[in-house]
Amino acid sequence: MSSSESSRFETSYNQDQRIEQHLMNEREMERAADRDLEEQRELTFATVFARKSLPIFNLPALRITKFTSSKIRFRFEPSKISDHVSKKVIFHCSMEYYKEYSRWHIKRDSFPVNYKPRIYQLFFDNNFFIIGDGNVVEVIFALDRILRDWTNREEEFRMEKFMRFQNGELEDLELDTDDEELFLDESQRIELHRKRTSILRRMLPPRDGKRQRRRRILEIESD
């Protein structure tokens, strides 16, 4: 290799090294900027949660139990705003942040199984496709409105059902435990359970001993 070729090779190699080093520096700067941004996000969310000055922390039925830059968790208790929804009904919901998309995703963790079909549709009717830090508070308000709407519908359903029961349009067995909790006193619940037990006993098939005795009686009568 001639001296001129060697010089060109060395120059090209040094240039490649400078380019590679420049790219490494840029990537490190980007990573540092991302770390700074994430630290700022963490601080912002922690400060908001500590101060609890936003209106979302004062909603009567919704209580936020976690509010970080990676996860928000809350529960909604309909009985806090209605006397005609069971206290056993509590909705738990969370939102998780995906860094790769810079977006939040809603998760319905543990809605009471008996209520899932009716309430899921309310979520599907509202399009929460893009949730960023800028509108996460707005989405929490929207979730609160959805659960309030469900509470109003459940209240109407329970009151109408009990009115039908009082008018004789429904049988005792058609009342469930939520209806009992909301509309019956202790003595009425005891009497209702007594009636149910009596009805269920009559519905049970006879034991083998009684069945055999009855069959023998029929055989004797036929002779």
pLDDT by residue (tens digit) across 59-89? 999 999 999 999 999 999 999 999 999 999 9
Give me the pLDDT at residue 16, please: 65
Q: What is the mean pLDDT of residues 187-212?
A: 72
AA letter at 133: D
Identify the residue whose tokens are 């549709």.
121
- The more confident residue out of 135 and 23 is 135
Residue % of the chain over a pLDDT of 70: 66
Give me the pLDDT at residue 112, please: 62
Q: Is the pLDDT of residue 223 over 50?
A: no
Q: Is the pLDDT of residue 218 over 60?
A: no
- The more confident residue out of 218 and 87 is 87
Q: Is the pLDDT of residue 210 over 80?
A: no
Of the pLDDT bands very low, low, confident and very high (cuts 50, 70, 90), residue 181 is: very high
Q: Please, which residues have CB within 8 angstroms of residue 189's CB and are 6 or more apart in sequence?
A: 180
Q: Is the pLDDT of residue 31 over 70?
A: no
Dist. CA 214–CA 201, nearest whole Å: 18
Q: In what order do the strands lie in the sheet with 71-76?
A: 62-67, 71-76, 91-98, 103-107
Give me the pLDDT at residue 207, please: 58
Q: Where are the domains of the chain?
A: 1-51, 55-157, 184-223
Out of 2.60.40, 1.10.3470, 2.40.30, 3.30.457, which CATH number does the structure's domain 55-157 have?
A: 3.30.457
Identify the residue whose tokens are 């599907």.
124
Residue % of the chain over a pLDDT of 90: 42
Give me the pLDDT at residue 220, please: 43
Cβ atoms of 111 and 91 closer than 8 Å = yes
Adjacent-strand bridge partners of 62: 76
Q: What is the mean pLDDT of residues 123-134?
A: 74
Cβ atoms of 165 and 174 closer than 8 Å = yes
Give me the pLDDT at residue 222, please: 46
> What's the gap between Cα 4 and its chain centre?
72
Of the pLDDT bands very low, low, confident and very high (cuts 50, 70, 90), residue 14 is: low
Of the pLDDT bands very low, low, confident and very high (cuts 50, 70, 90), residue 199 is: confident
pTM: 0.73
Give me the pLDDT at residue 110, please: 59
Whole-number mean pLDDT of the chain? 80
* 142-175 pLDDT, tens digit each: 889 989 989 999 999 999 999 999 999 988 778 8
